[in-house]
Every structure is written in C-alpha cells, then in structure tokens.
Structure 1
Amino acid sequence: MENSKGLFVRGSTGLVREAGFVDAVSVNVANMSVGAALGTVGFTLASLPTVSGVNLVAASIIAFTLSIPQIITYTTLTKHIPRTGGDYVWLTRAFGAKLAWLVFGLALGFVIESLVYYSLIAIAGVDQLSLILPLLGVNIAITPVESIVFSIALFAIIVAVNIMGTKYGIRLMTGLTLFSILSLILSFLVLFLTPRVKIIEAVSSLLPNGYTYSKVASQYTGPYFALGPTIMMLPFFAIYIYPWLNAGPAMSSEIKGRRAVSLNVPTAALLTMLLATIGFTAMYHALGFNFVTAALSNPSINGTVNYWTIAMAASSNPVLAWIIGIGSVTWNLAILAYGAIIVVRYWFAMSFDRVLPSFLTYLSPRFGSPIYAHLLDLTITSILITLAGVFYGTFTALYGAVVEALLYYMAIGAAAVVIGIKGAGLMSLSKPGKAALAVSGMLQAAVMGFLTYQFLEYPSIWGGNPLAYGVEAAAVLIGIVLYFVSRELNRRRLGIDIALTYTEIPPE
C-alpha cells in the first residue's frame, strides 16, 4: 500500500527474492556482453589508425586488471547495501540532499545510455542472425524495416515474459546466458582441436572473391604485441565488458543467500574475463595472429568473417554449427533479457524515492511484477530501436554515448571514497575495510577518467559525434529538470521534500 506521508512510496518494495547464485552470476555475465564483443571486434579494429601490435588477448587481460578496483568497490557495497537499484542507491546516498539534482541527472543519463545500447544490440542480434543463416543453409534476406520490426518483437516477447512474473524473466535470462556460454565453450573446443589446415580450408569459403588465406595473412607484417596500440583497444572493452558490473547489485535485494549477494560480482567478472580471453586466444590459435588481425581490420572482410562465423565454418558438423550459430544470437538475446530486468529496477528505485511517478512501483497483484515500469521500458526501447535502424549509419555510431556511463562509474568511485572516509551513516565497516573501499573507489574513478579521456581524445574511433553526446547530455539535463519538477510537486501535494530521501537507505 502506498504511503502518502512517508519519504518513500511504501514501507517495503514488495519485490520477492527470486534469484539464486547462478541467476545472479548469469545476469552479470549477460551484462558484460562477451559474445557480442567477440562478434563485433572487427568493426573497432577497422577504425583504429593502426593495428600493428594490437593484441586482443593482452588487451583483455589489461582491461580486466584495471577493473579490479571496481570489482572490489561493487562487491563491498553490494554486500553491505543490497538494495533495488544498486549503485543508484549508493551514489545518491553518498552525496545526499545537496547534490541530489546532479546525481539523479547522472543516474537517469546512465539508464538512457543503457537503453541506447540495448537498441543497438537488438539490431545487432538480427544482423548476426542474417549473417549466420546462409552458413546454415537458410537463405533469407532481411530488409532494414524487417530488422526493426523483428528487433522490437524480440524485445516485446522478453518484456511480456517478465510481466508474467519476475521469476520467469529471471529464468529466461539465465537459460539464454547458460546456453550462450555452452555454445561458446563448444566453439573453443572446435577452434583448439581442429587442425589449422582444415580450419583454413573452411574459412577460405567465407572470404570475398579475390582474397585467399595467404594473401590476407601476408597483409599484416607488424609485431605480435605493442603496448601503445593495445592500450588503444581499452575503450572497446569498456563499451562491452569489464565496467558492466551493475546488474547483480541492481537486483541484490531479490537475490537469495548472503554468499550469492557477496560473490556474484567477482565470480561473474572472473568468468567473463576467462571467456573473452580464451575466445581471442582460440582465434589466434586456429588461424594465426597475422590472418586474424588483417581479416578483422579489413572492412571488406569483417562483415562476413568474425569469431562466430569462423567457429561455425571450422566445426564441419551441421549440429555443432547450428548450436554455435544459435549461441551467437542468444548472446544478444541474453543482453536484452538482462536489460528488461535491470533497467526496470532503476525505474523502480527512482520511483520508490518519489522522483519518478509512483505508479512505476506498482506491482501487479496477479503477476507480482512492476508492469508499468516494464511497459515504459518497452516503449522507450522500441522508439530507440526505430531511431537506431532509421538514422544511425553504423553499429559504432553511438559508441560515444558510453562516455556518460563512464562518468557515472567515475561518480560511483567518488561515492565509494565518501562512504569509505566519512561512512556517511550508510554502513558499518572496520577501519581497514573503509580504507580499502576508499582506495578502490579512488582507483576506480581514476580508471574511468582515463577511459573517458580515450573516448574524447579519439572521437573518430569511438563514435564521438554530436548525436551520441547530444543524446546523453539531453538525458542528464532532462533528469535534472525532472528532479526539480518532482521536488516541487511533492512539496506542494504531499508536503514532502524528496531531497531528504537521499539521506536514508530505502527499505528492502
């Protein structure tokens, strides 16, 4: 029942603990998008000024190492402040009432950035489907309009499952993620165990006319590793993989068991690092460093040759090819399935604080799900999918929108420093624990600052354009305006200053 006089909409969220440890790890793995990263890395390599010395295995390990402070920060805060909305709650409570307007704007911008990403992933999933079907003997051409309609339909089905019950949405996400991981492991076995001669013969059939394996491999003459060019790839991993640890924490109040709450972030981060690093290693092992680097960085080739098509061609087995091919698509579906769960948790938390309309916290008596929050998610994402399909020139056109997410994660690092130094009345930690949290927060903020610099310094590579930056700047400004409007409305109608909600931890 809604409380018209309390700081929060009601005395408890009403959400039920439906997620186990495997679910919590799966939602983080889906969030970290390793399957999509393996399939699209060629588009980024083709944009670099040089690929000489770019080693994807080394880049993955370096990126993971730089994410360790964030892993510590998120693990600590999730363990001690497990609430719906996760890092949104930590950020707003650390900075309190005075900066509530700014941090809410950052948080809303982060959510909108996530929706932009999901719209691109939806279209990328359909594109991947159109790419693998001919390899499976199914020749179907998908037009741009059909791609938009199909993408929206896929997301609508996922949202409908979540509306029918949170547990069904969680099971769908976990099932898609586990199948995707299985397909990836099978692809590892194919690429590591199949003789290179057979893989070269199979992959040669994917090359455009006029290209051969030896001709492509001979186009690369650089070293196996150079630090500078490899560091240039870090923003790619920031777009897809290592900073994206917020999914489990955002639904932490719905996770069963303290150990599952505490361990889901580091477990998912380590598992994802292994999957990504082994994936890049498998490509190099199967086809050689020179060929992989030259092929993936060649725009004439990387439209048909990527990690997944290589593994499918190398399998030489229709059943394996189907499993691997379907897995390449379910990685994208898993991202959409996790997004349908997690973005709604942010809408819910913001509404629970009375900043967004309270109807977004409504739980269906029949299904027990936040039905209106899901419908809002579907509406906005459908609009973005349509805009992405009609107006965005390439898949990388909105990479630059990730800058807002990096600034958000930088702010989370700063929030961890505040909590670690001042305590902020939010959690009880020993002095060494507070010091460790403050240090990890500072390092996290520094890493995010460096990644932001890379994005802004090389806009032509990372989608830095007025469209990408404009979308996120507008989202932050809208968030700030919404906060002030909501504050005034709540003050007039209920006599409540919503700034005070940011001084208290919300109920579970």
Structure 2
Amino acid sequence: MAKVFSREATGLTREFGFLDAFLLNMAVVNVAGGLAYDILQLFFFPGASLPLVFLLGGIPAFGIFLVYTSLSIIFPRTGGDYVYISRIVHPTAGMANAWLNILGFFLFTLTGFNAWYVVYTGLPSLLTSLAVSTGDMGYARIASFIQTNITFDFALSTIVLIIGACIVMFGLKVFKWAFRLIFVYYFLSAALLAALLLVTNHTMFINAIGKDTYSNVISSASQMGVYRFSLTETLLAAVPLGFLTFTGFQSSVYIGSEVKNVKRNQTLALGVSMLLTWVYLVVLAYAASNIFSNSFLQAASYLWATNPSAMPFSATPFITFLLSIIYRNPAIAFLLNSVPVVGGFLLIPSTILASSRILFALSFDRILPEWVSHVNERLRSPVYSVILMMVIAEIWVVVLYFFGYISTWLSLSLATPPGLVDHRYCSHSASFLKTKIKHAGSAKMAPCQATRSSCNGLGRRDPTRGYDCLARIYVFANHKLPIPWPSDLLSNRGECGNHRSFIGALLRCSPLQKKAGLRPVPGLP
C-alpha cells in the first residue's frame, strides 16, 4: 500500500512558547499600523464611525477565536486551515483553501504588498515627518526621490523581502530572537502613539496646522459632502475595515507542530492578541476622532485618494504624521512615523512563515513534491518552501510596481470569492467542535457536535457529495501520525484502526439516504 505521508515525522521541532506565538499573531495584525491605515480608508465609507466599526468588527473576531482555538487543540498540526478543512470537509476543499490563503491572503495581500508598501509609502512618510519636525528639507528631497524612482524602489523592496525571508529560513530560533528585538521597538512606538492620542486634544491640533489649513482641507473635499454619521456606512465598513483589521491574530495555528503546550499557549496567544487588538483599536479610534474630528479625517482620506496635490503637505496623512506635526519633536516624529515601516516589515517574515507551513503541509500530505517539505537538519527549517514563498511574493512586488496598484488588486479580487466558500463552510461546521479529548486505546478521539451540510446535486450515492446529511463527525487522531483521509469517508472503506488514523462520520440516515444504500459507520458509539 502506498504511504499516506511523505515520512513518519515532520522534522519540525516545538520551539514556540506563548510569547513567541503571541508576537507572531500581533505581527500579522499590525495593530498600530492597521489603525493608521484604516483611517485613510474612510473615503470609501462616508459617515462611518470608526470606533463603532472596530467595536462591531471584534464580534466575528471573537467567533474566529473560538473556532481556531478549538481546531488548533484538536489538530495540533502545522498547516492551519488546510489541515482543518482537508480533514473535516474534504482534501479538495482543503487544497483550494490552502492556495487561497497562500496566494490571496498571505503572499499577495500581506507579504508582497508590504514589501512594496514599506518602501513606497512608509519611508517617504517617515522622511517627510522628519523634514517637518527638524526643518531640514534634505529629508523631503530623499522622500521625493523614493517616490519618483520606481526602479530604485523595486530593488529596495526586493532587498526587504529577502531579509524577511532569511529571518524565517534560518530557523525558529533566529525568528524568535529577531522578533523579540524588533517588537521592543514596535511596542514602544505603539505605546507612544496610544499615549499621545490619549493626551492630545482638538485645540492643540488646530493650533498646530492653523484654522485656515484645517478649513481648506474640509472645503476642498466638499464634493464628498459634510460628515454626518451614517449607521448604514458604519455597518458596511464593519467587515472590510473592522473585522479584517483583526485578521491574522490566529496566525500561530499555522505552526501548530512547532508550539509547545498547544492547549495553553495557543489559547492564550489567540485570546490575548484578539482582546488587546480590540481594546487598542476601539479606544484609540475614538481618541483620534476627537482630536482631528471626523470631518477632517474623512476629508483628508478623500483628498489623499482623489487629489493629493490639494493637501497642505506631501506626506500620506497618517494619524502618526498628524501627531508629529503637533509636537514637532524629531524623536517623537521618528518613533511615530516608523510604525508603518516597522509594522509593515514585521508582516513579511510572519506571513512567509505561515504560508510556507501551509506549503509544507501540502507536501507532507504528498500533494506537492516531497522536496518542498524537506527540513534542513541544522536549521530545522523547510528551506525550500520558504524560498518558494519568497519567489512567489516577489512576483507580486513586480506586478505592484510595474503593472499598477488598482489593476493588480482587481485581478486578485476576481479570484478570491470562489475560494472563500470552502473556508466559510469549514468555519461554520467547525464551530460546533468540542475540544475535550477522550482516549480510546492508543488513539485519541475528539467528537464534534452535529453539523448540517447541504451539497445537493453533486453526486448520487456518496452522501458527502450528493445528499443532505445530519452528521456527528468523529475525528480520530493517532499518537504517531497526523490524520489522513480514507478512500471513502462514509462507507468505511480504506485503511483505519490502530496506527491507521481516519475521520469517520456517524449519520442519522434520512429515508433518501437509506434508499441509496447508506448505513451508519459500524463500530462507532
């Protein structure tokens, strides 16, 4: 019989504790950078209340926390969503979701995008803020050079991407210590941003930029209208600006085989990162709206998107930049405006780590060539999968620089919705999972609650593809091997039993299912 996996042991080691898993999650969330970036998107949702947007966005994020915590404990395997979906729904669905995550979410939306974003947007804003706070126009000239020399920017973005990939490629020990050092600086900058937003008031902002400048920005954006709170726009923004800003706090599940004490550390890492993000975003979005006013923030967002030359300054109007105008201190300006740069850079190694582990899991299941999951014995790192992820991300950097920002995002958007179907289905099904593990001989059994799935019209005698099933799924995870998929899930064909782990389902058969010859899987309680 052909082997189920490429080898019996993954070769990966459990290096991550709570702190490291927490830092990985916070790197992908990029909470301070996310706050600054989201305020620029108010143009798309005129009248939206950003504090309420973040408050509402945290509600589905809490549901994601419950789902991913349960799944990461039941399936403590490297690969994340791919492992969960391929074992619960079907390997085909798992593979579709894996490529959606790798190409659509991690590498394109985060990895390649941030290699571009750090250089093309982050650095010029940082340099312009230093020019304003110090009066040295040399910084402004460097910022202008960066924004107008695409070839130079592309080369610098490529170097940034390679550095991020090397942090991952040299193993988790290097990754851990690099992140601990970088996060000291990042948390200091994020804390300074929070402190200044809490102690600054609207009068200080008006005095810093002048009443005329403040009024001109709002009047220049008069085509958009005067800001008025809109519940409709707030609800519309709750997902793209609210919920999606939380996206990534579950990233540690993609390295499940490399986390110590999974039940404790994954629960804490996901829970703390989600709650910290929720509080930080809601409180500071409220503070920002009081300092700068919703009218000014909406107008600045509109002008930045449609007519940047109408702005009184050339830098991207991040709230970090606006605060540095108020205080005009070089140290404060550097710390605040390095948030988009450092936060953007942290996203590169963290997303390469997560996406390379999905690729590793595909190879370990023998879907991709075995060399993809090869682990370097000295580094304890799947070097080839990391390099492959870096190359794919570099393609995205090329597209962003030389084919245009909008057309690139449109192409990705058209390819995204079909893949979301698999992901949403698994999330709904898995939300019924129980995390309590029962022991049965040498195998571990984790029962799930009843779930209902309708897949009508896709098959005839196979209820996983052709009938509406009310199923109680039993997941058997063996001590020695991860969970393969049997040749036929519900008819109980294929290898199973001791040291042959499998997923089975006990069905309450409908008359239609009985007529088709379906019977409950024998031997299950």
Fold-level similarity (TM above 0.5):
yes
- Residue equivalent to 1:493: none
Q: Is the 8 A contact 1:33 1:335 kept in 2?
A: yes
SS state at 1:212 partner = helix
1:281 & 1:25 partners in 2: Cα distance?
25
155-164 vs 330-339, which moves further: 155-164
Shift in Å, 1:238: 6.5
* In structure 2, C-alpha distance between the alignment counterparts of 1:55 and 1:502, rounded to whole Å: 50
Aligned match of 1:412: 426
Identity %: 22
Q: Hey, what's the Cα distance between the residues in 1 that align with 2:124 and 2:399?
A: 20
Show the counterpart of 2:299: 294
**How many angstroms apart in 1 are the aligned matches of 2:235 and 2:52?**
9
1:226 aligns with 2:206: no
Q: Which residue of 1 aligns with 2:37?
A: 40
Kindly provide the amino acid, as one letter, of the partner of residue 27 in structure 1.
Answer: L
- 1:202 and 2:208 correspond: yes
Distance 1:502 1:288 in 2: 59
- Tell me whether 322-331 or 350-359 shows the greater mean CA deviation: 322-331
Which residue identity lines up with residue 251 of structure 2 in the other structure? A
CA distance in 2, matches of 1:323, 1:236: 28
Pick from 379, 385, 388 the counterpart of residue 367 of structure 1: 379
Q: In structure 2, what is the Cα distance between the partners aligned to 1:105 and 1:328?
A: 32
The answer (yes or no) to whether the contact 1:199–1:286 under 8 Å persists in 2 is yes
Structure 2 residue aligned with 1:158, among 158, 164, 179? Answer: 164
8 Å CA contact retained: 2:54, 2:281 = yes
Name the SS for the 1:7 alignment partner.
coil
Q: Structure 2 regions of 5+ residues with no counterpart?
A: 132-138, 455-484, 486-493, 505-525
**In structure 1, what is the Cα distance between the partners aligned to 2:175 and 2:278?**
26
Matched, 1:133 2:145: no
2:187 paired with 1:181: yes
CA contact (8 A) 1:92 1:502 kept: no
- The alpha-carbon distance between structure 1 residues 232 and 388, as it changes in their structure 2 partners (threshold 3 A), is same
For 1:384, the equivalent position in structure 2 comes to: 396
Matched letter for residue 186 of structure 1: L
* Contact 1:110–1:404, Cα closer than 8 Å, also in 2: no
Written as runs of structure 1 = structure 2, the 5 A alignment for 1:20-419 is: 20-48=17-45, 51-52=46-47, 54-95=48-89, 99-113=90-104, 114-117=106-109, 118-126=111-119, 127-137=121-131, 138-139=139-140, 140=142, 141-142=145-146, 143-203=149-209, 212-217=213-218, 219=222, 221-223=226-228, 225-237=229-241, 240-257=244-261, 258-298=263-303, 299=305, 300=307, 304-394=316-406, 397=410, 400=413, 403=417, 406-416=420-430
Higher-RCO chain (CA-CA 8 Å, sequence separation at least 6): 1
Q: For 1:307, give the aligned amino acid.
A: I
1:311-362 residue CA offsets vs partner (Å, 9 max, x unmatched): 3223332112111122221110111121121111111111110101111111
Q: Structure 1 pair 83/112, CA: closer, same or farther in 2 (3 Å)?
A: same
Q: Judging by fraction of residues, say which structure has more strand.
A: 2
SS in 1 for 2:246: coil
3-state SS of the aligned residue for 1:338? helix
Alpha-carbon distance in 2 for matches of 1:109, 1:238: 21
SS at the partner of 1:241? helix
Aligned to 1:476: none
Q: Tell me if structure 2 keeps the 8 A contact 1:83–1:251.
A: yes
TM-superposed CA distance for 1:255, in Å, is 1.5
CA distance in 2: counterparts of 1:370 and 1:13, whole angstroms: 10
Post-superposition offset of 1:396? 5.6
Partner Cα distance (1:174, 1:87) in 2: 26
Give the Å deviation of 1:26.
1.5
Q: Deviations over 1:193-220 (max 9, x none)?
A: 2343332333459xxxxx7113435656
Query: CA separation of 1:266/1:180 partners in 2, compared to 1, >3 Å: closer, same or farther?
Result: same
Matches within 5 A, 1:456-475: none
Q: Distance in 1 between matches of 2:208 and 2:346?
A: 29
User: What does the per-residue CA deviation read over 1:370-403, in whole Å, with 9 as the maximum and x for residues that have no partner?
Assistant: 1111110111111111112111334865672654
- Residue 59 of structure 1: how far off its partner (Å): 0.4
Within-5 A mapping of 1:477-496? none
Mapped contact 1:83–1:252 kept (Cα < 8 A):
yes
Judged with a 3 Å threshold, the aligned counterparts in structure 2 of structure 1 residues 427 and 261 are, in CA distance, closer, same or farther, namely: farther
Preserved CA contact (<8 Å) 2:56 2:242: no
How much has 1:419 moved relative to structure 2? Answer: 5.4
How far off its partner does 1:188 sit? 1.7
CA spacing shift, 1:276–1:177, aligned 2, 3 Å: farther
C-alpha spacing 1:136/1:403, structure 2 compared with 1 (3 Å): farther
| Residue identity in the other structure for 1:290 | S
